[in-house]
Amino acid sequence: MNTPPQDERGASIRLEEVVFGYAGAASMRFDLSVEPSSIVAIMGASGSGKTTLLNLIAGFEAPSAGRVLIGEQDMAGVPPARRPVSMVFQENNLFAHLDVAANVGLGRSPALRLTSADQEEVSQALAQVGLAGKEKRLPGELSGGERQRVALARVLLRRRPILLLDEPFASLGPGLRREMLALISDLHSRLGMTTLMVTHHPEDAREIADTVAFLASGRIEAVGAAAHFFSEAGPAGFRHYIEG
């Protein structure tokens, strides 16, 4: 548990006939295959199942049927901490009472027992996301963008081959969002993590994604190259969603 997988490249993700249902709601069904080290934009209307899809991969929800495979390994019964996955939420990625260094350090030791080498790595990770010297700040003293950078620094420290982003920039202004996208794309080019990003903004997808998966009412309606999706020949449902 204390030594996360050192695999620095991305892993493939495959969902085979995964069925999932909340009590009192229509069940969802996902079939998806993601190439290692690709960046996939997950798009679709609210309630179409985007977050559920990520939760299934991260292990926060268990499918009622079907298989989730990461790097060809069946994830059934594997708890979230043992999956080769890091996830960044829209907010609440940090514990408000712990300083920035501790929040990042949790990525190395969940009981926060850090050696001086670990602390050195924490500082390096913070420097990589542009937060050098802010180790002792509390999350409340940071801006929304800085808080998400801290979460990304923790992702760096964990070195998992898969990164799940659940609208992590939704509460940021357009300028900050572009900056964060650049940061993600920079991290990706260096580490090659397979990245799934839920977003409502077509420009996010256009900027960094090579693949788009479009969800509608609990199903993956279409998957394809981003260039194709945003061309005139893109799927009708998707064009309707982004153009209104």
Residues that bind another protein (CB under 8 A): 1, 22, 55, 58-61, 79-83, 85-87, 89-93, 95, 97-98, 106-107, 110-112, 158
Q: Which is nearer to another protein, 56 or 223 (CB)?
A: 56
The nearest distance, CB 42 to another protein, in angstroms, is 17
Question: Cβ closer to another protein: 49 or 234?
Answer: 49
- Quote the least distance from Cβ 7 to another protein, whole Å: 17
Q: Taking the complex as a whole, how short is the minimal distance between the CB of residue 55 and another protein, in angstroms?
A: 8
Instruction: Answer yes or no: are the C-beta atoms of 108 and 144 closer than 8 Å.
Output: no
- Closest approach of Cβ 90 to another protein, in Å? 8
Closest CB to another protein among residues 60, 127: 60
CA distance 80 to 212: 25
CB of 106 to another protein, least distance (A): 5
Nearer to another protein, 50 or 158 (CB): 158
Nearer to another protein by C-beta: 58 or 156? 58
